[in-house]
Amino acid sequence: MSRAAVAIQCTEEDRKELERLSKSRTDEARKVERAKIVLRCLAGRRNDEVAAEFGIQAATVGTWRKRFASEGLAGLRDRPRPGKPPVYPATELRQRILKQLEAPPPAGLAGWDGGTLAQALDVSDDVVWRVLRKEGIQLRRHRSWCVSTDPEFAAKAADVIGLYLSPPQNALVLSVDEKPSIQALERKTGYVCTSSGKIVRGLKSTYKRHGTINLFAALNVATGEIQSKTTQTKKRPDFQAFMDDVVAEIPGDQQIHVILDNYSTHKKNHEWLAAHPNVHFHFTPTSASWLNQVEIWFGIFARKTLAGASFATIEQLVKAIEAFIASYNQSASPFVWRKREVKGSQLRNTIVKLRN
């Protein structure tokens, strides 16, 4: 006499979830099959009938019937499995890898990578990469920074950042700098299909030089708009001529605060400043030009206009610059000032201390 199958029942909510899972195209196939098995059982089908439909053993159907009866939807999940015993003790291997990263790399190498670590420790590449991923260690991803040694860094930085965060009332704050020696390079560009089937941008390695120009730019910190001028040279008279253009349409009684780096042409402009008493220059600390917000815009400009471009003449380059700035100003918005705190003392081989 055959044994009676375990009776099962479920709530309306569980049934809806089973029906959703049974029709899913994104969940794991085994979960979808288990949901279908349970739905057949809820419909009153025998285990052998359900097994014949899915081409599995009746005992398998009985297992999922019992699991659902006792645990509900949670019973359809896989049980934890012990898996293969680890070849290397996890804690010991972790400490070995972190300690090895503190040691100098093999002769002729600038740094460690997964393969050389595995060779040095006599373990497999896979286990090394598993530990590195778990610890969040990225051996080939670098971050660089410039730490200012200016003895007046705090005062100068506070002055500049104060203009960003709390500018004087009714005053105009400008961030000014130049991008020198922009090359008009002419080379063939287009798209190519790689051996992997990917379509990428193609640039011919050879090119023609058609001269250089300099770009002066003034960023309106409040609006994000850019005022620019291209010149053949970047001497002090060029800088002063650009500043003449910048202040030309601004009322003489409006205070203008200009943020500049310590480039030589920005200094020794006493006569020009005396002729424009409403203009005040604020210099960033030495080795801290990243405090000048216009540098952010120069990065955007270089990526969108210069990278991978081809210019047959200087005139084409100038037109491209003017077109980009005109388009940029239509939707310009101010930058939100933020800066990660980075200390020079972080630059040490202290992975063990960072991870423990």
Q: Which pLDDT does position 5 carry in this prediction?
A: 80
**Inter-residue long-range contacts of 234-239, CB under 8 Å, 24+ positions, other chains counted:** 234/178, 234/180, 234/265, 235/265, 236/264, 236/265, 236/268, 236/269, 238/214, 238/265, 239/178, 239/265, 239/266, 239/269
Q: Which pLDDT does position 339 carry in this prediction?
A: 60
The model carries a pTM of 0.63
Buried b (16+ CB within 10 A) or exposed e, 314-329: beebbeebeebbeebe
Fold (topology level) of 12-76: Arc Repressor Mutant, subunit A (1.10.10)
Q: How far is the C-alpha of 66 from the C-alpha of 49, rounded, in Å? A: 16
Architecture (CATH level 2) of domain 153-330: 2-Layer Sandwich (3.30)
What residue type is 148 in one-letter code? S
Q: Which pLDDT does position 1 carry in this prediction?
A: 44
List the pLDDT tens digit at each of the 356 positions of the chain.
457 788 888 899 999 999 999 999 999 999 999 999 999 999 989 999 999 999 999 999 999 999 999 999 998 898 888 877 777 777 888 899 988 988 888 888 888 888 999 999 999 899 999 999 988 888 888 777 677 888 888 899 889 988 998 889 889 999 999 999 999 988 888 888 888 888 988 888 888 998 999 999 999 999 999 999 999 988 999 999 999 999 998 888 889 999 999 999 999 999 999 999 999 999 999 888 888 999 999 999 999 999 888 899 999 999 999 999 999 999 999 988 776 655 555 555 566 666 66
- Are the CB atoms for 167 and 293 separated by under 8 Å? no
What is the length of the chain?
356
- Are the CB atoms for 242 and 266 separated by under 8 Å? no
For residue 215, the number of C-alpha atoms closer than 13 Å in the C-beta half-sphere is: 27
Residue 100 in tokens: 């090895």
Q: Which pLDDT does position 140 carry in this prediction?
A: 84
Q: What residue spans define the domains of the chain?
A: 12-76, 90-135, 153-330
